[in-house]
Amino acid sequence: MLASADIIRCVVDAVAHRNLPLVVDPVMYFIPFRHRLLQSEAHRSLVTDLFPIALLITPNLPEASVLLDGRVIASVADMQQAAVDLMALGRSKFVLVKGGHLESDTVVDVLYDGESFDLFSSPRVHTTNTHGTGCTLAAAIAANYAKVADLKLAVRLAIRYVQSILHGSRDIKIGHGDNGPMLHWL
């Protein structure tokens, strides 16, 4: 997690000239408690410094809403428009708006490449062990992209991986509170 503008600029300075395929998960809040993790000047630096050198940004719906000045995102059509606007805002090569926060039995994630959309639909896994799904998905996309060099395939494989972990840990009581972590070794 990159919590301050100084840290973000340090990362940008270290990687910008290397042309690396960066996958950026803009972690901004600890959602269950609505605790802000990103300082306000870091928010600006994320958009102006890091997003432009990213291959992909992967905001969930609350993060996309914050990045788009509080816009309500309540449907797949809203997610598609958010992806278009996030790309214009941050100039990354791809945007994946993650739809896990929409209330539905099917989770839809929207990938936008600047011209067209790919929708990835998965059955919702009913579990409270969802802490870390966004970070895990971003890491799995990066790992799969390094392996297959095809972003759409990397996203599909990463979603399948996260789904399998959620399914495997769905009935296990982990940690304290209502939102446990996923069990990656299942």
Residue 140 contacts residue 162 (beta carbons within 8 Å): yes
**Catalytic option among 98, 99, 100, 136:** 98
Q: Could you please report the per-residue DSSP string of 59-115?
A: -BHHHHHHHTTT----SHHHHHHHHHHHHHHH--SEEEEB-TTS-SSEEEEEEE-SS
Alpha carbon separation from 90 to 98, 140, 142 (Å, rounded): 17, 22, 19
Give, in degrees to the nearest 5, the angle at Cα 144 between 107 and 81. 40
Per-residue pLDDT at 177: 59
**Could you tell me the residue ranges of all domains in the chain?**
5-123
Any catalytic annotation for residue 90? no
Any catalytic annotation for residue 48? no
| 127 phi/psi in degrees, rounded to 5 | -155, 155
Domain 5-123 has CATH 3.40.1190.20: yes
As averages over each run of 10 residues, the pLDDT of the chain (186 residues) reads 88 92 82 59 88 96 91 97 95 94 93 98 86 89 97 98 88 68 65
**Catalytic option among 99, 100, 130, 136:** 130
Single-letter code of the amino acid located at 100? G
Per-residue pLDDT at 163: 93
Any catalytic annotation for residue 128? no
- What is the SS3 assignment for 140-155? HHHHHHHHHCCHHHHH
**Catalytic option among 10, 135, 147, 175:** 135
